[in-house]
Structures are given as C-alpha cells and as structure tokens.
C-alpha cells in the first residue's frame, strides 16, 4: 500500500519568467521520495509563455515584445501561448504514480480548483469534451478550453498544462484575476485574437479583482482535500539547491530554448 504523500506549500514572491520556470522544474527533479509540493507564484513582469512544442517562428514580434516590456519564456509543459500578468499561477508536483496518472492528477487538481472557486462565489465548472483536441499551433491557450479545464459561463478561466520530468509529474496553470489575453494581438507578427466569450476572469465573474491572499486562502484547503495526504508540515519549506536553480534559469532564459520551434 502506497504511503500518503507529505506535502509542502510555497508562496513565492513575483519573479522573472526564467526563474519561475526554473523553480517549477527544480521542484520536480529534486522532489524527495514520498513528498508533494504545492506552489503559488506570480510574475515580476508581463510574460508571454509558449508550450513546450508550440511553433513560434515568425509568429511573434520581438519589437513589440520589447517596446511593451513583455518577457518571453518557453514552459517545460505542453499547451499554447499564455500572457501572464494579472493572475495567480499554481504548480503541483508529485511522484509519477501518486496520486495517480497524469490524467488522474489533472482531474483531481481541476476538480479541486472548481470547488474552491465555487466557494469563492464563481460559477466554475469543468469543460466538456471537445470534438478534437487542439494542436500546439491552434492559437492562444485561452482561445479554447480543453476537456476538463476550468471554465465559468462556458468561458475559460484557468489554463493548465503538465509534463513528466525524471519520474515526477508537474502540473501548473494560470488563474486569471483579470483578462489581459487580448493584449496578445499587439505582440503578434501575424493576426492573433482571443474571441469574445472565449475567456473570462475573476474580475468579470465577481465584479472586482480579488486579492491574491484571499484567493490562496480558498485554494489551499480545496487542493489539500482533493489531493489527500499529510498536510501537517505544509509550511515547512522544500529548499532548492542554488546551483540547480542557476543552471535551469540559464536554460529557460536561452533564446535557443525559447525560440527553438
């Protein structure tokens, strides 16, 4: 019988794009046996992130990105382009096989997010199955919800993606406090748009932009209930080696990685 995971929780201050991806990656590859990590974080500057296998060549204007002060990074996970700005990002890291498969983890996390958001006053639900899955070149992430993602009023509210790294599973995702995704159109070298009604935000659902602390207050217990395990030591930090972080940060800052497709 598999022992319940022992969980740690991190609430990190805003960081650069490369640093945020380095921390998520490092948490996965250095995860001790029997442990899970829940991380909440934000971004020091507006950031355009690409999915691991998303085509980017000729699609984005480096001049527009520079003039608008937008950082660029390619995630270790799949999915499509997201503009990270007024949002809260979560990450969950577990050993592969516990709690369950990639699909199982996806379902448990997203169901927990729905419960938390409903408690927060948002009519959240899981998106139904689409006729077909969107390919990596299908446009921005928030243009179309994938099966099981979190929506409100049929519009996408949370975008999530996964990857398996050295026997661990990483799932992270963006919970939109406000809708900045239309800004992607100004950053593109070719026409890009997010359709009206395709995306929503907590501001649109609640009539206000909530404080990050109050959002975490409802997310944390819902995820603990949904993921199970031992959360008694949740505030004991899982420390990371600085040499590992430095190496990974250089990787995620590298143009060779960012613009590799």
In a domain, 170, yes or no: yes
d(CA 219, CA 221): 6
| pLDDT of 83 strictly over 90 | yes
The pLDDT score that the predictor gives to residue 1 is 45
**Percentage of the residues of the chain whose pLDDT score is greater than 70:** 93
Is the pLDDT score of 130 beyond 70?
A: no
Query: Are 184 and 14 within 8 A, CB to CB?
Result: no
Residue 169 belongs to a domain? yes
Catalytic site residue 141?
A: yes
Overall domain count for the chain: 1
Task: State the catalytic residue, choosing from 31, 48, 122, 141.
Answer: 141
- Give the confidence band of 100 by pLDDT, cuts at 50, 70, 90: low
What is the pTM assigned to this prediction?
0.93
Q: Quick check: is 31 in a domain?
A: yes
Q: 1-11 burial by CB neighbour count: b if 16+ within 10 A, else e?
A: eeeebbbbbbe
Specify whether the CB–CB gap between 202 and 157 falls below 8 A: yes
The answer as to whether 16 is a domain residue is yes
* Average confidence score pLDDT of the chain: 91
State which residues form the domain around 126: 6-258
Q: Does residue 85 belong to any structural domain of this protein?
A: yes
Whether residue 44 lies inside any domain: the answer is yes
Residue 74 lies inside a defined structural domain of this protein: yes
| pLDDT tens-place string over residues 209-256 | 999 999 999 999 999 999 999 998 777 777 788 999 999 999 999 999
250 and 65 in contact (C-beta within 8 Å)?
Answer: no
pLDDT-based confidence at residue 131 (cuts at 50, 70, 90): very low
CATH classification of the domain holding 176: 3.30.930.10
Answer whether residue 1 is part of any domain: no
Per-residue pLDDT tens digits for 170-205:
999 999 999 999 899 899 998 776 666 789 999 999
The residue among 78, 245, 234, 257 whose CA lies nearest residue 169 is 78
Task: Give backbone dihedrals phi and psi of 10, rounded to 5 degrees, phi first.
Answer: -120, 135
Query: Could you give the angle at which helices 212-227 and 102-119 cross, rounded to 10 degrees?
Result: 130
CA distance 245 to 16: 13
């Amino acid at each position: 019988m598999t022992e319940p995971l022992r969980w740690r929780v991190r609430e990190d201050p805003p960081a650069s794009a490369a640093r945020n991806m380095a921390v998520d990656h490092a948490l996965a590859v250095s995860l001790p046996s029997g442990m899970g990590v829940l991380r909440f974080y934000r971004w020091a500057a507006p950031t355009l992130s690409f999915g691991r296998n998303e085509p980017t060549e000729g699609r984005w204007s480096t001049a527009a990105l520079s003039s608008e002060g937008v950082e660029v990074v390619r995630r270790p996970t799949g999915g499509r382009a997201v503009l990270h700005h007024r949002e809260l990002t979560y990450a969950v890291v577990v050993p592969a096989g516990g709690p369950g498969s990639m699909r199982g983890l996806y379902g448990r996390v997203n169901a927990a997010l729905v419960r938390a958001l409903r408690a927060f006053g948002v009519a959240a639900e899981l998106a139904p199955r689409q006729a077909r899955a969107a390919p990596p070149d299908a446009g921005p992430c928030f243009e179309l919800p994938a099966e099981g993602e979190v929506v409100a009023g049929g519009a996408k509210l949370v975008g999530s993606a996964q990857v398996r790294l050295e026997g661990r599973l990483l799932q992270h995702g963006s919970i939109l406090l406000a809708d900045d995704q239309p800004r992607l159109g100004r950053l593109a070298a070719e026409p890009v748009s997010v359709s009206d009604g395709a995306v929503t935000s907590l501001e649109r659902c609640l009539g206000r932009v909530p404080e990050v602390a109050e959002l975490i207050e409802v997310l944390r217990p819902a995820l603990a209930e949904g993921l199970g395990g031992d959360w008694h030591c949740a505030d004991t930090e899982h420390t990371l080696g600085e040499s590992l972080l430095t190496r990974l940060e250089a990787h995620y800052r590298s143009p060779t990685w960012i613009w590799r497709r």
